[in-house]
Amino acid sequence: MKAKITLKDIARELEVSISTVSKALKNSEEISRDTKEKVQAFAKLYNYKPNNIAISLKNKRTKNIGVVIPDIVHHFFTTVIRGIEKYANARGYNVIVCLSEESFDKEVINMEMLANGSIDGFIMSLSSETQQKGDYNHLKEVTEQGIPVVLFDRITHEIECDKVIIDDELGAYQATKKFIDQGKKKIALITTDDYLSVSKARTQGYWKALQESELEADESMILKMPSMEMDEEAIKTFLDNKEPDAVLCVNEIFAVCGMRFAQKKGLRIPDDVAFIGFTDGVLSKYANPSLSVVAQHGEKMGEESAKMLIYKVESEAEEETYQTKILEPTLVIRDSIAH
Partner DNA sequence: ATTTTCAACGAAACCGTTTTCGTGTTAACA
Partner DNA sequence: TGTTAACACGAAAACGGTTTCGTTGAAAAT
Contact 22, 7 (CB under 8 A): yes
CB of 3 to DNA, least distance (A): 8
Q: Is 53 in the site for a copy of itself (CB under 8 A)?
A: yes
Q: Select the binding partner of residue 158 from a copy of itself, DNA, none (C-beta < 5 to 8 A, by kind).
A: none
45 CB neighbour count, 10 Å cutoff: 9
Q: Is 25 in the site for a copy of itself (CB under 8 A)?
A: no
Cβ-based nearer residue to DNA, 53 or 90: 53
257-276 footprint of a copy of itself as x/- string (CB under 8 A) = x-xx--x-------------
Question: Could you tell me how many residues of this chain bind a copy of itself (CB under 8 A)?
Answer: 54
Q: Select the binding partner of residue 259 from a copy of itself, DNA, none (C-beta < 5 to 8 A, by kind).
A: a copy of itself
CB of 20 to DNA, least distance (A): 3
Contacts of 237 (CB under 8 A, 6+ apart): none
φ, ψ dihedrals at 162, nearest 5°: -70, 150
CB of 115 to DNA, least distance (A): 12
CB of 156 to a copy of itself, least distance (A): 20
Contact 303, 87 (CB under 8 A): yes
Q: How far apart are CA 300 and CA 320, in angstroms?
A: 25
Cβ-based nearer residue to a copy of itself, 76 or 206: 76
Strands 149-152 and 121-124: parallel
| DSSP run (H or E) holding 256 | helix 252-264
Q: Select the binding partner of residue 6 from DNA, a copy of itself, none (C-beta < 5 to 8 A, by kind).
A: DNA
Q: Of 31, 39, 95, 166, which one interacts with a copy of itself (CB under 8 A)? A: 95
Q: How far apart are CA 243 and CA 260, in angstroms?
A: 14
Stretch that binds a copy of itself, among 94-102, 192-200, 204-212, 304-312 (CB under 8 A): 94-102
Q: Of 145, 219, 316, 319, which one interacts with a copy of itself (CB under 8 A)? A: 145
- CA distances (Å), 22 to each of 3, 5, 13, 46, 114, in order? 19, 13, 14, 15, 30
* Phi/psi-derived region of residue 153, left when phi > 0, alpha when psi is between -120 and 50, beta in every other case: left
203-242 footprint of a copy of itself as x/- string (CB under 8 A) = ----------------------------------------
Cβ-based nearer residue to DNA, 56 or 182: 56
Cβ-based nearer residue to DNA, 288 or 315: 315
Q: How far apart are CA 170 and CA 205, in angstroms?
A: 6
Q: Of 19, 94, 211, 315, which one interacts with a copy of itself (CB under 8 A)? A: 94
Which candidate, 232, 249, 235, places its Cα nearest to that of 291? 249
Per CB under 7 A, residues contacting DNA are: 4, 6-8, 15-20, 22-23, 25-26, 30-32, 34-35, 48-51, 54-55, 57-60
Strands 324-327 and 246-249: unpaired
Q: Of 17, 37, 50, 243, which one interacts with a copy of itself (CB under 8 A)? A: 50
Q: Is 54 in the site for a copy of itself (CB under 8 A)?
A: yes
Q: Is 288 in the site for a copy of itself (CB under 8 A)?
A: yes
Measured at the alpha carbon of residue 322, what is the angle toward residues 320 and 326, in degrees to the nearest 5? Answer: 175
| Side-chain half-sphere exposure of 45, counting CA atoms within 13 A | 8
